Amino acid sequence: MDKSQPILVTGAAGFIGSKTAELLLDAGHEVVGIDNLNDYYDVRVKQYRLDQLQGRAGFTFAPIDIEDLPAVKKLFGKHAFGAVINLAARAGVRYSMENPHVYMTTNAHGTLNLLECMKDHGVKKFVLASTSSLYAGQPMPFVETLPVNTPISPYAASKKAAEVMAYTYHHLYGIDVTVLRYFTVFGPAGRPDMSILRFIKWIDEGTPIELFGDGSQSRDFTYVDDIARGTIAGLKPLGYEIINLGGGNNPVSINAMIECFEQHLGKKATINHKPFHKADMKETWANIDKAKSLLGWEPQIDPFEGFKRSVQWHVANRDWIKEIAL
């Protein structure tokens, strides 16, 4: 990727977006980051991530919402982008059932806004964040050729819409598209609506954990640094490809994750079991052969090492984390 042109990273104050921007800057790229800093979860977490980027050479930030087409058009008129990495999204399976409209307007329509501006300004590379949630009900390990036409949440449906819109713009206008389906991304400064940060905080504070199901459900946990590396690797010209970024090993159960947190905190969890949520998946497991062959990518951080680092980050930041609403 030509370093003379800036890369647009949307969702730059988000969990994956901020780490991706950081690694791009480390590699000498100029990064323009945008984020609407919405309050889906505590904005202080987003501001913390943004603070790590602000002031770094080569980084420019603008508080822009990808749903705001006039603002996005103005941004594209100001910068000659070499590529767009779209990490701005409404996340969260359960909340998408409560407020489905915002998922479509951000995840689908926002993606369309970016593609339109790319077409108009001749920007030829698009990296789109998608999700393993699309694989619900399919045989494991999930491979990219599976038909993902039965999403079980508005979140997954909105991501499918973004994927197929990106294909349309590839077909019509020659935009080179890499769609990355992420598998349970976690790590320091993660999303406070996800179980990792919540469980660590609750165990540390002695607050009972709310656990949906019996804890036997499992996830293909993938450390955020690995995901950011894979996202940047996706900048290479590929035509139109959908690629899994996941752990690629046997999934880790929620119970095993909790036990790891207990070990590193030196405290026992109190668990309140709740019924399994029908929009949740019992298990996720990625086939990552395509990522290995096309991107030369595979994860480097073991989930349990990542859990340890997440606990260490929490302990180092617990003075302000204690104020965060979960």
165 touches 111 (CB < 8 A): yes
Rg (CA), the chain: 19
In three-state secondary structure terms, 253 is: strand
Determine the number of helices (DSSP H) and then strands (DSSP E) in the chain. 12, 13
Helix (H) or strand (E) holding 257, with range, is: helix 254-265
In three-state secondary structure terms, 83 is: strand
In three-state secondary structure terms, 265 is: helix
**DSSP 8-state symbol, 142:** B
Going from the C-alpha of 210 to that of each of 198, 262, 276, the distances in angstroms are 9, 15, 11
Q: Helices marked H in 27-153 — which ranges?
A: 43-53, 69-78, 93-98, 100-103, 110-121
Residue 302, class by beta-carbon neighbours within 10 Å (0-12 exposed, 13-18 middle, 19+ buried)? Answer: middle
Backbone φ and ψ of 145, nearest 5°: -80, -5
What is the number of other CB atoms lying within 10 angstroms of the CB of residue 315? 13
> Would you please indicate which residues are annotated as catalytic (active-site) residues?
155
DSSP-assigned states of every residue in 57-72:
TTEEEE---TT-HHHH
Residue 102, class by beta-carbon neighbours within 10 Å (0-12 exposed, 13-18 middle, 19+ buried)? Answer: middle
Q: Distance between CA atoms of 99 and 153, rounded to whole angstroms? A: 11
In three-state secondary structure terms, 285 is: coil
